[in-house]
Structure formats: C-alpha cells, structure tokens
C-alpha cells in the first residue's frame, strides 16, 4: 500500500544515512516539487538544510514574500533570499527569441546560485526537487524532441563545477504522490495544489523583449485573474491559468478620452498531463467581470482577450 507516512519515514532514513552531518543546499523555487523536497529534507536533517531562493524579477505578484513567509517564518527553514531582478533584466534586454530568453534565464539562475553556493563552502550536497516525469523527460530529451521544443532548465541544470553531490529525494515519485507527501508534511493546501509555473516565469509570458514595466503590468493583471478564479471556485477546476502580456498597443476609450494601451490575453486550460490541453470554458459572465476589473484597475492595459486555442497545436504557454 502506498502511504505518504511510510514513504516519508523511508526517505528520512535514507537521507540521514546518505547525508550524515553534511550540509545540503537546495534551490527553492516556490513550486510544488522544490517545496516538498525542502520540507522533507528539513524534517530529515533540520538546520543542515540551507535553501537558496532566487528572486529573478519574473515571479508573480507577492510570490517572493509568500515563499519567505511559508518556509522561513512558518516552517522555520533557513532560506537565503537573493534579489537578482536587475541582473536578470539586464541579461534579457533586447532579447526577443523565446528559446534564447529561456537559456539566458537558466544561465543567470545558475550563475547566481553558484555564487551563493561558493559562499556556503561548508555544503557538500545539492538537493533538487526532480520528480519521476522529469527523469523520463530529460532522458528522452537527449535523443527526442521534448527538450528541443522547450528547454526546461530545472532538470540536470546545475554544473559539475559546484562539486556537490546530488540529492534527489523525489526522484521516484509522480506529481500526485509528491502532493500527498507535501500535505502530510504540513505544507499549505494552496501551495501543494498550485498550478504549475514555468521555471523562466513571466519571462515567457511577456512576448518578445522582457521589460520591468511589462512585468509589473502583467503581475497586476495576472493577480486579478487568479484572485477571481479563487473567489469563483474555478481555480481548482482548471489545470493552469495565467495572463500573458502582449506588447502591442490598442486604442480604447476611458472616461472622456481616448487611450492607447497594452493588451493582455487570459489563458486557462484543462489538462491531465499538460501534453494536450483543452481551453477552459469559463463562463462569459466571469470573463466579463475579470476583464472589467483588469481594465479598470491596471493603468496601461486597455484590452483583454481570452485564448481559445487547444494544445495541440497551440502550446499552453505563448512562448
Ligand atoms: P507548453 O507551453 O509546452 O507547456 O504547452 C506545458 C507545461 O510546461 C510548462 N512549461 C515550462 N516549465 N520551464 C518549465 O519549468 C519551461 O521553460 C516551460 N515551458 C512550459 C507550462 O507552464 C505547462 O505547464
């Protein structure tokens, strides 16, 4: 029988045997996998775990603060927060191509993480929230097309120069099993059942060049959409939902005047494995409400569209 409690007990034993008195470093992203890995490791080795959380400036509204509140404050885990927004934005300036943006974001992440790791010279292990599907996907990626279509940077990304031994406590688990572990370990429901969020974050939800101004507008629009999905009980019924920033201007009327502002697209999908997806048939009244709120509350956005493309052929993300 598959029992979260037993899996946790077994993993803890295994982690303790492997790690001994060593120090373990973990890159916390705020996503489900690295969060569960952190909670599990903390339970196994306590303060021998040090988490590094890189704020790349491409996170959602309030996300960095939430991560700190959940892990540092609530769970008492040591988390080093690195604010690296400027560095990521500088590296992304002028870059339009989606794959190039992914590579840059992945590369800068590794640089920032490595620099931090070098300061923590007492660490011997690097823990990652790799789960079973990642293992399969990255294995396939060497020969197959999966990696070429979109190079995810969260698997096998960290270089050997770090000289750390790799620890992957979730390597044999599927997503739903990881979630059950997270719940058992006391992580909040909202975190455990959170929609997936891509490693490159808003970097691939701002079409073309990434600018701080765009990221700020997108964060506001996205937060309204997500808040309304929660309020109207749609969040858990869709598999993934978010706003996308379109760097095109469109004419509108606001009050007495004409405006000429940006456009956002809302995307919500239902999917089992994220390989195929159906656009979520959210009620018109709901979409109407969200659209009005975004246009009224986010100065700089004057038009909202809803994405009605299925996957295939459209991918879930726009880039
Ligand atoms: P697509 O857009 O390929 O997305 O239909 C399928 C799922 O993967 C997520 N995704 C990513 N996750 N790094 C990630 O960690 C990425 O570069 C990336 N691109 C897409 C996407 O959010 C969806 O859940």
196 Cα–ligand 1 center, Å? 8
List the end-to-end C-alpha distance of the chain, in Å, as a whole number: 41
Identify the pLDDT of residue 147: 39
pLDDT at 86 over 70: yes
| Domain 4-192 homologous superfamily, CATH | HUPs (3.40.50.620)
Residue 303 Cα to ligand 1 midpoint, Å, equals 25
- Cα 176 to ligand 1 centroid, rounded to whole Å: 18
For the chain, the C-alpha Rg in angstroms (whole number) is: 20
- Cα–Cα distances (Å) from 1 to 6, 72, 131, in that order, read 9, 34, 20
Q: Above 80 in pLDDT, residue 143?
A: no
Nearest CA to ligand 1 atom 9: 198
Are 122 and 116 within 8 A, CB to CB?
no
Res 20 pLDDT > 70: yes
Kindly give the number of the ligand 1 atom that is closest to the alpha carbon of 199.
15
Tokens representing 112 are 């920032």
Nearest atom within ligand 1 for CA of residue 102: 17
Determine the Cα–Cα distance for residues 27 and 50; give it in Å rounded to an integer. 9
311 Cα: distance to centroid of ligand 1 (angstroms): 12
Q: Does domain 205-306 have CATH number 3.40.50.2300?
A: no
pLDDT for 145: 35
Annotated binding residue at 32? yes
85 pLDDT more than 90 = yes
> Distance between CA 185 and CA 77 in Å, rounded?
13
Give the model's confidence band at 144: pLDDT under 50 very low, under 70 low, under 90 confident, else very high.
Answer: very low
Mean pLDDT of the 75-88 span: 96
- Tokens for 101, please give them: 């943006």
- Other C-beta atoms lying within 10 Å of the C-beta of residue 302: 21
Comparing 44-48, 88-92, 151-155, which segment has the lowest mean pLDDT? Answer: 151-155
- Per-residue confidence at 157, pLDDT binned at 50, 70, 90? low
CATH 3.30.300.10 residue spans of the chain: 205-306
Between CA 68 and CA 187 the distance in angstroms is 13
Spell out which residues line ligand 1, taking CB within 6 angstroms.
102, 150, 152, 154, 196, 198-200, 240, 274, 311, 315-317
pLDDT tens per residue across span 225-238: 999 999 999 999 99
Instruction: Check if the beta carbon of residue 243 is closer than 8 Å to that of residue 218.
Output: yes
Residue nearest to atom 22 of ligand 1 (CA): 198
Which ligand 1 atom is the nearest neighbour of the CA of 196? 24
33 is in an annotated binding site: yes
Least confident of 111-125, 214-228, 288-302: 111-125
pLDDT (0 to 100) of residue 137: 77
CATH 3.40.50.620 domain range(s) in the chain: 4-192
Instruction: Establish whether 208 is an annotated binding residue.
Output: no
């Amino acid at each position: 029988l598959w029992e979260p409690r037993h899996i946790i007990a077994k993993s803890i034993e295994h982690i303790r045997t492997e790690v001994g008195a060593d120090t373990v470093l973990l890159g916390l992203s705020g996503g489900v996998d690295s969060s569960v890995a952190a909670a599990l490791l903390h339970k196994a080795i306590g303060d021998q775990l040090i988490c590094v959380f890189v704020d790349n400036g491409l996170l959602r509204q309030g996300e960095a603060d939430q991560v700190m509140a959940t892990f540092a404050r609530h769970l008492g885990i040591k988390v080093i927060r690195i604010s690296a927004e400027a560095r990521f934005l500088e590296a992304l300036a002028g870059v339009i191509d989606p794959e190039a943006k992914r590579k840059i974001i992945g590369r800068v992440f590794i640089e920032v993480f490595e620099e931090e790791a070098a300061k923590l010279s007492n660490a011997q292990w690097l823990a990652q929230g790799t789960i079973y599907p990642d293992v399969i996907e990255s294995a396939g990626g060497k020969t197959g097309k999966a990696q070429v279509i979109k190079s995810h940077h969260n698997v096998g990304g960290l270089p050997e120069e770090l000289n750390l031994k790799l620890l992957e406590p979730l390597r044999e688990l599927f997503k739903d099993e990881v979630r059950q572990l997270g719940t058992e370990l006391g992580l909040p429901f909202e975190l455990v059942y959170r929609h997936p969020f891509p490693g490159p974050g808003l970097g691939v939800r701002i079409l073309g060049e990434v600018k701080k101004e765009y990221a700020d507008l997108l964060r506001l629009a996205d937060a309204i959409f997500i808040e309304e999905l929660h309020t109207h009980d749609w969040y858990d019924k869709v598999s993934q939902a978010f706003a996308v920033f379109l760097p095109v201007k469109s004419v509108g009327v606001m009050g007495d005047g004409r405006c000429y502002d940006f456009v956002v697209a809302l995307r919500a999908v239902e999917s089992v494995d994220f390989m195929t997806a159906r656009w979520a048939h959210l009620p018109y009244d709901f979409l109407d409400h969200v659209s009005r709120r975004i246009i009224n509350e986010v100065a700089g956005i004057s038009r909202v569209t809803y994405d009605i493309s299925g996957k295939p052929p459209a991918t879930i993300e726009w880039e």
